[in-house]
Amino acid sequence: EAKAQGRNTVVLFEARLRDRSERRAALREALAEALEAGELVLHLQPQQDLQAQRMVGAEALIRWNSRRLGRWIPPGEMLPAASEAGLMPALDRFVLREAVRMIAGWGDRPDAPRVLGINISVTTLRDPAFAEEVAAALILAGVVPSRLEIEIPENLAIRDLPGVARTLAALRELGVPLALDDFGGGHSGLPHVVRLPVQRLKLDRSIVAGLPDPKSYAVLRATVTLARAMGIEVVGEGVETQSQAFALRRAGCNIIQGYLIARPMPMVELVPPLPEQGAVSRQARA
């Protein structure tokens, strides 16, 4: 009896594993197709300067509404599948192209973000050709490098540093700002900041979520002090409440991103097309 039950459990477990791996295989296939079919879009989340009371930048976040799977696939599900399928290089190039295209479209509009940040995987940062591809994309679109920021994933291990150092140095040389994402969330921390040529630190949501409690505030203060000493700007991410924003500001972190300001949204919602643009192009055609 007990043996039979044990066997049933094993069979069930195997069925579940098979289900899971089949689901993942379907996801990988659908993603390859989606990249071709243009199903992926970038949503933008604004970054607010608390002192100047205005939007100074935005972060581009990937969104995928899969026709084949019939639903939105969150990044947390999509990125591991992309990684497994070897699609991260293609995904990162898509994000680069789209972001540069958006910035070019905004031109000098004062109501558009001055800087647009993109998330780039470690795999791509290791590619010695990547910095030149960024340069080419910017030149082709006529975009100044200072308007495109590259966010470096926090999971970049110390052992990855030699592999990405050339790319990061080349991007800096080019004038592309670099940010270290999710600082203080994982195991990395201090050694990274000292060794990476970044201009910004994006505080991990876990630090912000603990505010304004004294321990989280102490971590925040220490981080801001350290960053200042190195000439690095700190951005508060995942800010959901006024009291978190207040604590950040009190600690000297003036730029925030989070649901308190706005959720990630389609580009046309953040920067609506100008009404006269339509008129001008109609005139031009007439």
Binding site for ligand C2E (CB under 6 A): 45, 61-62, 74-75, 79, 92, 95, 119-121, 151, 181-182, 237-240, 258-259, 264
Residue 150: its H or E element: strand 148-152
Q: How many Å apart are CA 151 and CA 31, to the nearest integer?
A: 23
159 φ, ψ to 5°? -70, -15
User: Taking contact as CB under 5 A, which single stretch among the options 64-72, 96-104, 230-238, 271-279 is the one that binds Mg ion?
Assistant: 230-238
Q: How many Å apart are CA 151 and CA 200, to the nearest integer?
A: 9
Strand, coil or helix: what is 247?
helix
Which of ligand C2E, Mg ion, none does residue 61 bind (CB under 5 to 8 Å by kind)? ligand C2E
User: Cα dist. 189→56, 102, 155, 255 in Å?
Assistant: 26, 32, 11, 20
Pairing state between β 71-73 and 54-66: antiparallel
* Residue whose CB is less far from ligand C2E, 149 or 181: 181
* Residue whose CB is less far from ligand C2E, 184 or 264: 264
Report in angstroms how near the CB of residue 35 gets to ligand C2E at its nearest. 12
Report in angstroms how near the CB of residue 237 gets to Mg ion at its nearest. 5
68 burial class (0-12, 13-18, 19+ CB within 10 angstroms)?
A: middle
Length of the chain: 286
Q: Report the candidate in 257, 255, 178, 192 with the shortest Cα–Cα distance to residue 226.
A: 192
Report in angstroms how near the CB of residue 202 gets to ligand C2E at its nearest. 7
Question: Which residues, numbered 77-116, are part of the site for Mg ion (CB under 5 A)?
Answer: none
Of these, 62, 151, 152, 257, which contacts Mg ion (CB under 5 A)?
151
Report in angstroms how near the CB of residue 281 gets to ligand C2E at its nearest. 30
Within 13 A of 76's CA, how many CA atoms are on the CB side?
A: 0
Q: How many Å apart are CA 282 and CA 275, to the nearest integer?
A: 11
* Residue whose CB is less far from Mg ion, 92 or 151: 151
Report in angstroms how near the CB of residue 123 gets to ligand C2E at its nearest. 9
Q: Report the candidate in 138, 171, 174, 175 with the shortest Cα–Cα distance to residue 152.
A: 171
Of these, 45, 47, 66, 119, which contacts Mg ion (CB under 5 A)?
119
* Residue whose CB is less far from ligand C2E, 6 or 86: 86
Question: Which residues, numbered 171-200, are part of the site for Mg ion (CB under 5 A)?
Answer: 181-182
Report in angstroms how near the CB of residue 202 gets to Mg ion at its nearest. 5
Give the interface with Mg ion as residue ranges (CB under 5 A).
119, 151, 181-182, 202, 237
